[in-house]
């Protein structure tokens, strides 16, 4: 068995792979691969390694978005690379994961489900993405899937460093399917039709077993896609660091500057604000939130008590399609044969609980929370499917059911409601810290999305599913307007997005961006607003005025007149908007949009709303936002530490800070008793941005799992803190 050595947050970890023969007949069962970052010119370093380390194979050189080398050799020979003075001080690289929220059961053939959303249904144009090169940076793809085989061109594996970007197989670790699903949304052409069924798919496997990978692999994949000539890149992945200057976000911006449109999933950490993560925080990317499609959803109802209980199907569950009422019975206390089993959430895996209830004869399972609120769960273990529906409910509803189910006969009927278009609750919200950008840019379908997976089809949901709808739409626009720039494509998408309303009121800009994409309108637009998301940043003075210069292109064949609607008067806010103006055909004009604020008349925090720009009968809704004085945004994020590659004794850490701090402390607590154990890290006079450092393994203290409390003492006297789970390793490397 051959192995690959990759930079993971957890450690320097070995995975089985297939590699080519090693130079000079070195034993191929001990080959390893790694991507390193270097100082200076990587091509000069390549020559040096070729001359002095002939047994190290250089697979690739990266010099477009970052400086690095991809190397193959035995682990023993690779360990010597650490002594080279041009190898940068190795720091922990953030782990990136797929932005997936939930799933339903996999089927070999196209399932019939009235709630399933078919990606190709949003393509109401005459275009198919023909001739457009689409790069999918993900878990790889099952390129032998009959719906993808005709569109797949080539690819590269940044995990194994070979030219086979197949999804992770079970024999290689935790199997994956995410990239195949994403690729199908973009360009499936078979039983299922994607948004752009004639687009060319180039696959780059940057996420390995279990759908995890590092920033080094993601950046390397970005560079390779750019150099391969990609027209548009899809990144349905991310982390939890809400900062514009994270390395992956910087790389994305550079890729856009090279003329490539980059589409990124906004993340699945909603519904809280400030949850958008890198690389969706990149200023020049098209960041995508998930719209919740209208669908028929079941709920439980008791007529006499007029009690309604919302249920959420678990990942991997078959549909809940009952048409009559059924008895509820606590499990395992009561006989559940022919009944709906009610189970309290605990330490037993959901699949095991459901399996036990199914074997006892239950026709369905309700698992209620053991803490306040609702939750999402999964019963998919990749092997043994559960044949009955399994859903989660809140603690309050579960305890109510338990109280009544103790009676001899207690029934609940299943009713159904049709929802309206909304934003999915899991979809991450903006804005971005530090530069206060408005994100997401747009929204797209992200719930119950039916697409391809290895061996069949599956419904998945998440911003991972929303982003490829936009990527496919970009392919349609690129085919229709091959000479358009990335700025024109992005601007057309934003300009024509349709604002989503809930109960008659527009959903907040930091939740939906410009709104849901409209492919045909984007292609046929007669106006392009290049920067329609108006972010005025943070207001720190008593009175302050800021101006954004809105760039507008008239793409029609005649002159067009534009007029701003006068906004309603708001205390503390004054707008200075241009009077009616005309832009000749084919020309571009920049107009000032000035906002004056009296901060003393406004509450602290996020302020947002909409401006209306009229052009004839068309109305363009421009979202605006500013932060008054301060807001409850995270001051420190992304704390992690890992074993330094090539070292058995030294650990490195990183933490992202959004404001300068007098000091930062990381204290460890017993996760069960919550008693203080020790201080792991203490830093003084910390600047905003990524903070990195190292410590010796023997100074980590007692191994085990801990609750880490990161406390930030800001220079303005405020104190902020957040918690995360940390594992202190023993003899084996560990991670947070």
Looking at the annotation, which residues are catalytic? Answer: 138, 178, 464
Beta strand pairing status for 505-506 and 588-598?
unpaired
Q: Are 727 and 705 in contact (CB under 8 A)?
A: yes
DSSP code of residue 162: B
Q: Are 508 and 621 in contact (CB under 8 A)?
A: no
* Joined tokens for residue 301: 């109802």
In three-state secondary structure terms, 687 is coil
Phi, psi of 10 (to 5 degrees): -70, -35
Q: Are 357 and 397 in contact (CB under 8 A)?
A: no
Q: Rounded to an integer, what distance in angstroms lies between the CA atom of residue 570 and that of residue 553? A: 30
Closest CA to 211 of 236, 186, 243: 236
Residues contacting residue 528 through CB under 8 Å, at least 6 positions apart: 488, 491, 492, 495, 552, 553, 555
The residue count for the chain: 736
* Joined tokens for residue 510: 């930091």
Closest CA to 185 of 110, 120, 97: 120
The sheet with strand 581-583 has its strands ordered as 534-539, 618-628, 605-615, 560-564, 581-583
Beta strand pairing status for 326-330 and 411-418?
antiparallel
Q: Are 654 and 636 in contact (CB under 8 A)?
A: no
Closest CA to 309 of 297, 321, 324: 297
Q: Rounded to an integer, what distance in angstroms lies between the CA atom of residue 360 and that of residue 341? A: 9
How far from 87 is each of 69, 72, 393, 423, CA to CA, in Å? 10, 16, 52, 45
Cα-Cα-Cα-Cα dihedral sign, residues 723, 509, 597, 590: positive
The two counts, helices (H) then strands (E), for the chain are 11, 45
Cα Rg of the chain (Å, integer): 27
Burial 238-264 (b: 16+ CB within 10 A, else e): bbbbbbbbbbbbbbbbbbbebebbbbb
For the chain, how are helix, strand and coil distributed in percent, rounded to 5? 20, 40, 45
DSSP codes of every residue in 368-403:
E-SSSS----B---SSS--SS-EEEE-HHHHHHHHH
In three-state secondary structure terms, 549 is strand
Task: Please name the residue that has the structure tokens 């050189």.
Answer: 61
* Joined tokens for residue 180: 């195949």
How far from 307 is each of 300, 304, 310, CA to CA, in Å? 8, 8, 10
Phi, psi of 75 (to 5 degrees): -55, -35
Q: Rounded to an integer, what distance in angstroms lies between the CA atom of residue 336 and that of residue 342? A: 9
Q: Are 270 and 427 in contact (CB under 8 A)?
A: yes
* Residue 584 Cα to chain centre, angstroms: 41
CB count in 10 Å sphere of residue 727: 16
Q: Rounded to an integer, what distance in angstroms lies between the CA atom of residue 222 and that of residue 269? A: 24
């Amino acid at each position: 068995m051959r192995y690959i050595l990759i930079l993971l947050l957890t450690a320097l970890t070995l995975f089985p792979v297939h590699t080519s023969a090693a130079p000079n007949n070195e034993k191929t069962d001990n080959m390893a691969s790694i991507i390193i970052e270097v100082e200076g010119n990587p091509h000069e370093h390549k020559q040096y390694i070729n001359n002095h380390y002939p047994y190290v194979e250089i697979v690739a050189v990266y010099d477009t978005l970052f400086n690095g080398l991809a190397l193959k050799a035995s682990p023993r020979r690779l360990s010597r690379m650490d002594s080279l003075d041009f190898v940068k001080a190795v720091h922990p690289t953030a782990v990136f994961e797929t932005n997936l929220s939930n799933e339903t059961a996999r089927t070999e053939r196209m399932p019939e489900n009235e709630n399933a959303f078919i990606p190709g249904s949003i393509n109401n144009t005459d275009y198919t993405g023909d001739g457009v090169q689409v790069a999918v940076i993900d878990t790889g793809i099952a390129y032998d899937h009959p719906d993808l085989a005709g569109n797949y061109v080539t690819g590269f594996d940044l995990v194994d460093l070979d030219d086979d970007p197949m999804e992770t197989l079970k024999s290689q670790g935790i199997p994956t399917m995410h990239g195949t699903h994403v690729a199908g949304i973009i360009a499936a052409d078979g039983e299922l039709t994607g948004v752009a069924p004639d687009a060319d798919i180039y696959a780059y496997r940057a996420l390995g077993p279990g759908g995890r990978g590092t920033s080094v692999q993601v950046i390397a994949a970005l560079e390779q896609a750019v150099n391969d000539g990609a027209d548009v890149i899809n990144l349905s992945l991310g982390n939890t660091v809400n900062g514009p200057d994270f390395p992956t976000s910087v790389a994305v911006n550079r890729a856009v500057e090279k003329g490539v449109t980059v589409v990124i999933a906004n993340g699945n950490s909603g519904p809280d604000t400030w949850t958008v993560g890198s690389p969706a925080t990149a200023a020049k990317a098209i960041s995508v939130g998930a719209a919740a499609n209208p669908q028929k959803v079941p709920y439980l109802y008791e007529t006499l008590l007029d009690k309604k209980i919302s249920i959420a199907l678990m990942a991997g569950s078959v549909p809940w399609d009952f048409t009559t009422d059924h008895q509820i019975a606590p499990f395992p206390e009561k006989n559940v044969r022919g009944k709906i089993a009610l189970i309290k959430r605990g330490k037993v895996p959901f699949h095991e609980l459901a399996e036990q209830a199914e074997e006892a004869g239950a026709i369905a399972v309700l698992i209620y929370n053991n803490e306040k609120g609702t939750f999402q769960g999964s019963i998919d273990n990749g092997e043994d499917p559960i044949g009955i529906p399994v859903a989660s409910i809140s603690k309050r509803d579960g305890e109510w059911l338990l109280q009544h189910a103790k009676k001899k006969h207690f029934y609940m009927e299943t009713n159904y409601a049709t929802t309206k278009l909304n934003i999915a609750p899991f979809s991450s919200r903006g804005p971005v810290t530090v530069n206060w950008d408005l994100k997401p840019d747009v929204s797209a379908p992200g719930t119950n999305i039916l697409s391809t997976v290895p061996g069949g089809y599956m419904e998945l949901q998440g911003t991972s599913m929303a982003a490829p709808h936009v990527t496919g739409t970009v392919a349609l626009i690129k085919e229709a307007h091959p000479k358009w720039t990335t700025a024109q494509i992005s601007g057309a998408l934003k300009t024509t997005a349709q604002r989503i309303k809930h109960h008659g009121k527009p959903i907040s800009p930091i939740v939906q961006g410009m709104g849901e994409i409209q492919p045909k309108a984007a292609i046929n637009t007669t106006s392009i607003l290049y920067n329609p998301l108006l972010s005025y940043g943070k207001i720190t003075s008593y009175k302050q005025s800021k101006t954004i210069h809105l760039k507008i292109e008239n793409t029609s064949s005649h002159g067009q007149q534009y007029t701003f609607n006068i906004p309603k008067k708001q205390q503390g806010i004054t707008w200075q908007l241009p009077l009616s103006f005309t832009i000749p055909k084919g020309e571009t004009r920049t107009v000032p949009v000035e906002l004056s604020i009296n901060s003393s008349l406004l509450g602290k925090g996020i302020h947002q709303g909409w401006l209306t720009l009229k052009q004839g009968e068309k109305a363009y809704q421009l979202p605006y936002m500013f932060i008054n004085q301060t807001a409850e945004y995270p001051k420190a994020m992304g704390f992690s530490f890992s074993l330094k590659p090539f070292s058995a004794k030294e650990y490195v850490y990183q933490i992202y800070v959004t404001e300068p701090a007098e000091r930062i402390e990381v204290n460890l607590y017993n996760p069960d008793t919550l008693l203080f154990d020790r201080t792991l890290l203490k830093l003084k006079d910390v600047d905003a941005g990524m903070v990195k450092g190292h410590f010796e393994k023997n100074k980590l203290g007692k191994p085990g799992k801990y609750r880490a409390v990161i406390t930030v003492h800001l220079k303005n006297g405020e104190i902020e803190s957040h918690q995360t789970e940390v594992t202190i390793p023993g003899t084996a490397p560990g991670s947070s």
